Amino acid sequence: MAPFDASRYLSAYTRHAIEEYPTDKGPADYVLVSNGRILGVVEAKKLSLGPQNVLLQAERYSRGLSTNPFNFDGLHAPFLYATNGEVIWFHDIRDLNRCKKQSLFGQANGRLCYAALPVNTAECPRRRVQP
């Protein structure tokens, strides 16, 4: 985990979550970086809020990553996440129907463990075509 630092090149990050990363559409709560490329956008909400519809906000920030080398129909990070700390919604934007709901269920060897829950794909927020 690293705070955003405007003086540091993205290529300096190998495997990091960068907090409050600026995009053309506003700051993303977190971006997940591997070898200088942003692979994921994470939108975090309070525990009292359901994260499911927040995937659309993560999508908006993905659209705002215009300098990232990926481009999937205008989205520039292939993985979107929304969480309230208990439930995580994950969407692989390379596949419109690949959306998962996961729930935190404990720790093992100091690592957080998640259980995939069965999800009706009708529950997943659909990508919207935005200009």
pLDDT, tens digit, 9 for 90 and up, residues 38-69? 999 999 988 877 766 788 899 999 999 999 99
Within the chain, strands assigned E span: 2-3, 15-23, 26-34, 37-44, 79-83, 87-92, 99-108, 111-117
Query: What pLDDT sits at residue 61?
Result: 97
Query: What pLDDT sits at residue 59?
Result: 93
Query: What does the block give as tokens for 9?
Result: 């090149």
Global pTM? 0.76
Residue 128 lies in a domain: no
Q: What is the three-class DSSP state of 86?
A: coil
Length of the chain counted residue by residue: 131
Query: What does the block give as tokens for 74?
Result: 């205008």
Residue 130 lies in a domain: no
| Residue type (1 letter), 77 | A
Residue 129 lies in a domain: no
Query: What pLDDT sits at residue 120?
Result: 42
Residue 131 lies in a domain: no
Query: How many structural domains is the chain composed of?
Result: 1
Residue 118 lies in a domain: yes
- Cβ contact 80:72 at 8 Å: no
Query: What pLDDT sits at residue 84?
Result: 84
Q: What is the pLDDT of residues 77-124, one digit of tens each?
A: 999 998 888 888 888 888 765 666 765 544 444 444 444 444 444 445
Query: What pLDDT sits at residue 92?
Result: 87
Query: What pLDDT sits at residue 98?
Result: 61
Residue 47 lies in a domain: yes
Residue 54 lies in a domain: yes
Query: What pLDDT sits at residue 90?
Result: 85
The helix (H) or strand (E) run that includes residue 110 is: none
- Mean of pLDDT values over 3-28: 95
Residue 119 lies in a domain: yes
What is the extent of the structural domain holding 81? 2-123
